[in-house]
Amino acid sequence: MKKVTLKSLTLVNFKGEKERTTVFNADVTTISGGNGLGKSRHFDAFIWLLFGKDSQDRKDYEVKTRVNGEELHKVECSVTGILDVDGQELTLKRAFVEDWVKPRGQVEQRYKGNHTECWWNETPVNVSEFDKRVHEIVDSNVFKMITNPAFFVGMNWKLQREQLFQLAGTITDVEIASSNPDFALLLDKISGKSLADFKAEIAARKKRLKNELNQVQPRIDQTYKMIPETEDFAALESKLADIDKEIASIDEMIADANAAIRKSYEAEQEKQGKMNALKAECQQIIFDAQTAAKDKAFEANANRRELESQIKVKKSEIEAVKREMQLGKSEIDRHNAEIEKLVAEQKRLRDEWYNENAKRYQGETICPHCGQELPQSMIDEAQSIFTKAQAEKCNGITAKGKEVGEKIATQHGCINQVENGYNEAETRLNALQSELDGLKTDLDSTTVAEVATVTPETIPAWVEKQKQISEIQSTISTDNSGIDTSEMQTKKKGLNEIRSEIVARLGKRDTIERGKREIARLESDGKNLAQQIADIEREEYTIQEFNKTKIGECEKRINSLFKVVSFRLFEYTLDGNPNEVCVPLVGGVPYGSTNTAGKVNAGLDIINALCRFYGICAPIFIDNRESVNEIIETESQIINLVVTNDNKLTIK
């Protein structure tokens, strides 16, 4: 185990201590005296030396000495410590240094602020390197926990839990399941998921199943309400059979009357069919004549259609050239805009060059630290550096100006190229417009051939067909009289209405059967849902018992690391659900309610466990040591801070 021992501390103007060197024993050192004499100041100084913070974790907090409420300036404020790290002696120093500057034209220096300087074995090192080397010895978070008995129990309870579980190591679910077959079955079931996710999943499923179960009885009640009342379905079926026989008899009589009518009707329909065929042939004759007239006019207008097609092509070509010219004009505008920007940049660089070239050296001639005149050699060197930097900057501006000039020339070249293309497109546009005008002239001089009108009366075939239609028309009878079946149809209609009513009433029988089946199904679903909920509740009970077992094992393993203190890591709700807590106990009593001796020894017990885990021990500062008769054994160096009535500090 790495052991860090504090051999001595030297405080210079640190928190009211003008200058003091305290030498510590390797095992136990007691610093005693009245309040306000600087006992706790040693702990603050030790922590600030290593980490730049006080024992309350405040960075550079009130480290300077005050006189009458005002900070004491222009004096050293530092802490020097000699440590023994596994037999190797280290001398560390941290100083809080003031920054004073003398503004130009003023005689008095002005306080500007502070900065930190560090030494490692009397060799200056920067703060980051100092912190890195300290961290290689011990991590700052670990150091705070193993040097102050009250620090760990003062941490946030969640951070305490996290640290305790690091000390105890992880307890796997497989280890817990090995003690109970039900736990093993549970882990097999949730393979691939966390226990918390599985618990949430079955809770959501249980909630859904309960919601479904709650809907079963209302649906059963609603189904009962929808079932109609039972009737004498046998009597209804007998009455329906009698009506069907009577309707069949009426249908037979209507059929005999309709047979006579149908024979006469079929003869008339044959004549009507022949006449309709002749009318269709007449329409075809007219259609063929109209088609021939259209074909003749289409052939006569072939030349005109060709001219129209050429005009359409020329118009498309003209539009394409116009778009090309418009793009060229936009490109020229874009290049001109870029030239304007570059010209403005060129002017800005020219003004920048003149401004830079006009600057003259205005450097310091007085040392900002001591206030004395600087040597002429240093002034000349600074002026030479200024002149060289000025020349380099002017040359850089000149180079940028040349680059801008080259870009302007490039833009002008692009404009010339685009203008050439624009002029060529304009020439093509004029030629295409002339061609278009010629085509339009040719089109205007071409006569349009109209479709000839077709007159059916001039077509012999059509006239002949019309004559045949007139002859057939004269033989068709217009007498629609026959056997009257209206009375039989009325009676049949009345019987069908009665029949429909009976069929509707018989349909209630199927509705009743469907309702009974639905009720039976809902009752079965209710039993099934209740069984699923019971199965889930058994799984929830197993999860609860698993968590309790795991919690007990966690507390057992963690508490086995300590002799004086123990920790309650979980509290249970009335429903048996665990809540995470972290309550340190001393003899079964919460830490906050125990006496000072119990608190100190509990803190030392925690420090011993942390030292074993991290493999390092460091000086432990015990405040209010006068309240504790005996402390438990520890491998760490002990520094007791004891309050007495003495008016000066005593180191033993």
Residue 75 maps to a domain: yes
pLDDT number for residue 259? 67
Crossing angle for the helix pair 233-300 and 302-358, nearest 10 degrees?
Answer: 90
**E strand segments, 153-238:** none
| Tokens (6 digits) for 98 | 């003031």
Which residue in the block uniquely carries the two structure tokens 């226990």?
A: 195
Do the domain assignments include residue 612?
no
Listed residues 395, 427, 444: the one ending a domain: 444
The answer to whether the CB of 516 falls within 8 A of the CB of 253 is no
DSSP tag of 457: G
φ, ψ of residue 326 to 5 degrees: the values are: -65, -40
Q: What is the pLDDT of residue 99?
A: 84
- Domain end: 392, 413, 444, which one? 444
Instruction: State the Cα–Cα distance between residues 296 and 293, nearest whole angstrom.
Output: 5
Q: Is residue 625 part of a domain?
A: yes
The Cα 120–Cα 507 span in angstroms is 104
**Angle between the 181-189 and 486-559 helix axes, to the nearest 10 degrees?**
120
End-to-end CA gap in the chain: 27
What pLDDT is recorded for position 107?
67
Angle at 634 between CA 629 and CA 638, to 5 degrees: 65
How far is Cα 145 from Cα 168, in angstroms, rounded to an integer?
17
pLDDT of residue 119: 96
Residue 433 domain flag: yes
Q: In what order do the strands lie in the sheet with 578-586?
A: 565-572, 578-586, 589-590
Q: How far apart are CA 312 and CA 480, in angstroms?
A: 65
Dihedral of alpha carbons 479, 485, 487, 491, sign: negative
* Domain of residue 106, residue span: 2-138+618-651
Where residue 629 sits, what CATH number does that domain have? 3.40.50.300
User: What is the maximum span of the chain, computed from C-alpha positions, in angstroms?
Assistant: 152
According to DSSP, the residues that pair with 580 across neighbouring strands are 570
**What pLDDT is attached to residue 359?**
85
Contact 623, 10 (CB under 8 A): no
- The vertex-619 CA angle with 83 and 15, nearest 5°, equals 80
* Confidence (pLDDT) at 414: 92
**Residue 404: inside a domain, yes or no?**
yes
Output phi, psi for 190, to 5 deg.
-100, 20
The C-alpha atoms of residue 242 and residue 231 are separated, in whole angstroms, by 19
How many Å apart are CA 68 and CA 50, to the nearest integer? 29
Q: How far apart are CA 243 and CA 342, in angstroms?
A: 106
Counted domains in the chain: 2
Backbone angles phi, psi at 424, to 5 degrees: -60, -40
Residue 604 lies in a domain: no
This prediction has a pTM of: 0.49
Residues forming beta bridges with residue 22, ordered by sequence position: 9
Query: Tokens 């080397």, residue?
Result: 133
Query: Residue 477: its pLDDT value, please?
Result: 63
Please give the average pLDDT of every successive group of 10 residues along the chain, which has 652 residues.
93 87 93 85 90 73 75 84 93 90 78 90 93 90 91 91 83 77 80 78 89 90 82 81 87 75 70 83 84 79 84 91 91 92 92 89 72 80 86 91 92 91 90 89 82 82 84 70 73 87 80 85 91 88 80 84 89 76 90 90 93 93 88 92 88 88
How does DSSP classify residue 360?
A: -
Taking the C-alpha atoms of residue 251 and residue 485, their distance in angstroms, rounded to an integer, is 10
Phi, psi of 371, rounded to the nearest 5 degrees: 80, 5
The answer to the question of residue 263 being in a domain is no
Residues 6 or more apart from 593 whose CB is under 8 A from it?
Answer: none
Q: Read off the amino acid at residue 449.
A: A
Last residue of a domain, one of 424, 444, 464: 444
Number of Cβ within a 10 Å radius of residue 108: 8
Pairing of strands 638-643, 28-33: parallel
Does residue 514 sit within a domain? no
Three-state SS at 356: helix
